[in-house]
Amino acid sequence: MERTIITTGDGSKTIHIPALNENYHSSHGAVQEAKHVFLKHGLELFLGKPDMHILEVGFGTGLNTILTLEAASHSDTHVYYDGLEAFPITTEEMLALEYENLLPSDFVKNQYTEIHATPWDNPQTITPTFTLTKIHETLQKQNFTSNTYDLIYFDAFGPRVQEAMWTPEIFQKLYNSLKTGGYLVTYCAKGQVKRDLKSVGFIVETLPGPPGKREMTRGKK
């Protein structure tokens, strides 16, 4: 399926799929959306603890991964990060996104290149406190161990174009993979999504959304 590079409202770039009229990130700003939804309302709940385990559903461009690595590098928390992706981007797309120009140091810029170069389906030490496992599989086929994750970044394409990713069955699988007290965070705030999250056991919060979006959702186990 054709993918093109577009520039979003905060100057950062993202991937657009014309056939679906869908972006990998918000057209209002890829970086500001990622920081607001996944870091502010997810990662920051756990920084300072000895370690944490994150699952990202939709590794995509690697933006959430590198922003998490950068934020966690200022703490003593060891992050174990699993990024699930069925359709990896190409090296050409990674270079065209120019995310390295948005990162605050040459050290982190080098890590962005490394997270894309690292092999799939094997844990890789990116820094002494950041271990990445990229999982090349669909969510439907992936089996998770129960009580594994502290935090899930649910960054799949929206229900309009990827309805099968937003079902009670999927949310039950993710709920089971979380530790008690763990969280799932997503940009999506549709009523049916929140009802389905509640139906499998999540305690659901509606939080202020990133620029250009009124609300987002966070669920707690």
Q: Is residue 20 part of a domain?
A: no
Note whether residue 51 is domain-resident: yes
Distance CA 113, CA 100 (A): 8
pLDDT at 102: 78
Distance linking the first and last C-alpha atoms of the chain = 36
Which CATH number belongs to the domain containing residue 191 in this structure?
A: 3.40.50.150
Domain membership of residue 95 (yes or no) is yes
Query: Residue 113 above 80 pLDDT?
Result: yes
Which of 63-67, 99-103, 167-171, 212-216 shows the lowest mean pLDDT across its residues? Answer: 99-103
Q: Where does the pLDDT of residue 18 fall: very low under 50, low under 70, confident under 90, or very high at 90 and above?
A: very high
pTM: 0.94
User: Average pLDDT of 185-202?
Assistant: 97
Virtual CA dihedral for 126, 131, 136, 140, nearest 10 degrees? -160
Average pLDDT over residues 135-146: 96
**Is the pLDDT assigned to residue 103 strictly greater than 80?**
no
Can you give 13-57 as a three-state secondary structure string? EEEEECCCCEECCCCCCHHHHHHHHHHHCCHHHCECECEEEEEEE
Q: If you search the block for the tokens 């939804």, which residue do you land on?
A: 37
**Is the pLDDT assigned to residue 88 strictly greater than 90?**
yes
> 72: domain range?
29-220
Does 144 reside within a domain? yes
> What's the structural domain count of the chain?
1
Residue 167 belongs to a domain:
yes
**Dihedral angle sign, alpha carbons of residues 55, 56, 62, 68:** negative
pLDDT tops 80 at residue 104: no
